[in-house]
Structures are given as structure tokens and as C-alpha cells.
Amino acid sequence: MTSPELEHVATASLSEDERSRAVVYLSDRMLEPGDELEIDGRRVQVDAPTVWAFVDLEPGVNWGHRSRYLLVDRESGSVRGVDAQFPPFMRGMPPHLRVIYAAPGVPEWAVAS
């Protein structure tokens, strides 16, 4: 899948309510079968070529809050969601992440950059 297709799959997996308030960050780091992604201290293994996204469901809220990681199979486009409480960054956004979607009305200060 191309980068625009991956972006579409990630944002299309959000509910209408989530789309009205969320911010979605997509990683440029590709995971291969057997790789692991650490989510809230847990190791989540992938079994297919995967790209991942982080969905902040409550942008602007400090500390742990509702969020989700999306594991997108790069070949089939299937999406596996993993509920979480913490982002993949605590101070500043890593260079491999980029914002692909911010709901209308989300203030700029609430979007990591």
C-alpha cells in the first residue's frame, strides 16, 4: 500500500465520533513479521508487514487517557486496534511520526509537533 492509502485506511477506521475529536499520528517505521511494538509497557508482536498509527482520542488531556494504536497490514489493509493510555512519546514528537489527521476544532497546542 502507498502512504496515502495507509493514511486513508487509518483514518477510515475511526468512528464518526472519534473523527470529530481525535488526532492521528502515523509512523514511517515499518514493522516486519516477528517485530514487536511496545504499547504501555506491553510488547505487541506483528505477524505481517505492518505500519502503525497512534490515535489520541482526547487531545489536550494530560497524563494517561483514552488512546489507541492501529496496526495496519501493509499488504491487505486490515487494521488491528490496541487500546492504550499513553502516547509513544512523552517529550516532543519522534521524527518518524507525523500528523495525518486532526479533527476540526482541536487546538494547535494539543497536537504534538
Q: Please state the separation of Cα 30 from the chain's center in Å.
A: 13
Averaged pLDDT score across all residues of the chain? 91
Asked if pLDDT for residue 92 goes beyond 70, the answer is: no
**Which residues does residue 97 pair with via DSSP β-bridges, in sequence order?**
27
Q: Is 39 helix (H, G, I), strand (E, B) or coil?
A: strand
Q: Is 23 helix (H, G, I), strand (E, B) or coil?
A: strand
H helix intervals, 13-56: 16-19
The helix (H) or strand (E) run that includes residue 9 is helix 3-12
Cβ-contact 95, 113 below 8 angstroms: no
Q: What is the pLDDT of residue 27?
A: 93
Side chain identity at residue 77, one-letter code? G
List C-alpha distances in Å: 107 to 21, 61, 90, 102, 104: 10, 12, 19, 9, 9
pLDDT-based confidence at residue 89 (cuts at 50, 70, 90): confident
Q: Which residue has the higher pLDDT, 20 or 94?
A: 20
Q: Which residue has the higher pLDDT, 34 or 95?
A: 34
pLDDT-based confidence at residue 112 (cuts at 50, 70, 90): confident
Number of Cβ within 10 Å of residue 78's Cβ equals 12
DSSP secondary structure letter of residue 35: -
